Structure 1
């Protein structure tokens, strides 16, 4: 697969998974939170990490946005939708949620490892441990924010 198309393929693959496993009404309910918690957060983090601080870079992009592949950013929306959907349906208490958070962050880190080893992203002053810890913090923060009662009530009105 041409390097320029890898993020586009990931974007479509993740949306295919969403449409296969998430009920349609949940997709509609989680569109805004997944856009804000996925694409917008990914844009901010990558603008700071890649464009401002130069911690990593993307050698090639089909449609670059300040040096960041557009479909890489957009792929975080279905990923966040999957995360939020299952977070809300986890049985049990906080132990299950912490394990799910760690597992999802680890899955993101494995994807980053493959992207790194195939040359789709280059870490300059960054590494996979930092990536994992950042994913853990961001997914945890998004889950806390979007499942707080006040935020949830506001999102239902939109």
Structure 2
């Protein structure tokens, strides 16, 4: 199955879970909780407020070597939008991709998504846990601070609590 088929299929609209495709074109579905949605909204709001010279995209689809992956939240610079507009899925990852970890996500699944987004051009991948933990990854590995927002943990969790 191709991503364009997924987004245009009326049976796959308004489902209570996130849909992705693996590298073989098979659908992967993950349930989302209200807590997950709350974090997603707060992170999107924080990015919108602190990085106004770009676009905040929720459910941002990115074509990777392992199929189409969907970041819970992404921030794309004005330059990224000028180059790719709102192509679906993006052939390259926006500068910031955020994954909010649900109980159904395995550590390996999240680690693979971090690697895939970075391989597709993301500058940072934020992994946010529902118990107020945060990991920030860049091309050098796990880092203490965001190059975009400095002390992100303080800003992020102060806005959520």
TM-score (norm 1): 0.37
Larger RCO of the pair (alpha carbons < 8 Å, separation 6+): 1
Structure with the bigger percentage of helix: 1
